[in-house]
Structure 1
Amino acid sequence: MFTLAPATVEDFDRLLQLRLRCMRESLERIGRFDEWRAYDRFRNSYRPHYTRLIMAPQGSLAGCVAMGPVDAHLLLEHFYIAPEQQGKGLGSAVLHQLLGEADTARLPIRLSVLQQSDAGRFYARHGFVQTAEDEWDVYYERLPGALHVLHEQEGIA
């Protein structure tokens, strides 16, 4: 269904364009879309050594995701699925793989999503719990093994 490939510094421009395609509508909804601010924020947080390209079976770029250690947790950021690939289960499949990696490492995952973003519901379905919020973002955390516990509670094997 997909493969994950390491990103490089040279992937910055195409991943920035992916970010803009994926985030524009949400940022416009809260009055925060500014292409230069998006560029600056991505430039300051792009960590290619923790970023992976999500490749579709035919070899095209379907998205990207970054997850790496920060203090005693993993930070999940820049998780973008190309609009034409959304709604097909790809995001859930990639996230399940990342959750498995976090569980193996026995580390919690933390992330943030924009206020009023549909992503909050997506992460809640996968065992993330809201921990805080501010004017622009909502913060979530998932403890190791949380999805397994969630499935047990719902009677899913």
Structure 2
Amino acid sequence: MVITLIPAAPGDVDYVIDLKATVLRADLERAVGAWSPSRSAQRVRDHFSPAWTRIVRDDDERVGTITMRPEGGAVWLEMFYLEPVAQGRGIGSAVLEIVLAEVADRDVQLQVLDGSRARPLYERHGFVLVSADGVDDILVRSARPADAGQPHGGETVHARAGVLE
């Protein structure tokens, strides 16, 4: 397994829309009681930025997306979606190791649905809950010194030029 993160192109917005529907529909129906495909698609279109979004590839297969959007002195981790076949295989952790190493000197924040199965993944990578409203949880990972390069959990990760081996 070789994980790479490649820059998104404007045309990738449709992939992100479809992937969000695949990954989040059931959670959104549970959390807010409804799913609107047109509203979900519009939210992705409104927030999609090829400048901050990358496509996750496992070998030569496209398996997900992640956005790291700077805001002030922090970074928002957004639109981190993995295809169902890529979940539970360590790909999410590998992607987080790559992107968090790139912004190790900045706080990283994210919003996740209350009760999301992804929350333990974020917590294993140093994110802590800072607020919750019954629908969304906001988690933050405080900046660590640049020399704190050992990944959480003790695994060894080799990342070069956006490639995880």
TM-score computed with the length of structure 1 as normaliser: 0.88
Residue matched to 1:101: 102
Residue matched to 1:137: 136
Change beyond 3 A, Cα 1:53–1:151? closer
SS of the equivalent of 2:122 reads: helix
Contact persistence 1:55–1:63 (CA under 8 A): yes
Residue matched to 1:89: 90
Residue matched to 2:55: 53
Query: What is the one-letter code of the residue matched to 1:142?
Result: R
> How far apart, in 2, do the equivalents of 1:14 and 1:7 lie?
10
Residue matched to 1:21: 22
Runs of 4+ in structure 1 over 4 Å off: 148-152
TM-score computed with the length of structure 2 as normaliser: 0.84
Change beyond 3 A, Cα 1:150–1:32? farther
C-alpha displacement at 1:55, in angstroms?
Answer: 1.1
Aligned length: 151
Change beyond 3 A, Cα 1:100–1:39? same
> How far apart, in 2, do the equivalents of 1:14 and 1:98 lie?
20
Higher helix fraction (1 or 2):
1
Could you tell me which runs of 5 or more consecutive residues in structure 1 were left unpaired when the two chains were aligned.
none
SS of the equivalent of 2:34 reads: coil
Using CA pairs below 8 Å that are at least 6 residues apart, which structure has the higher relative contact order?
Answer: 2
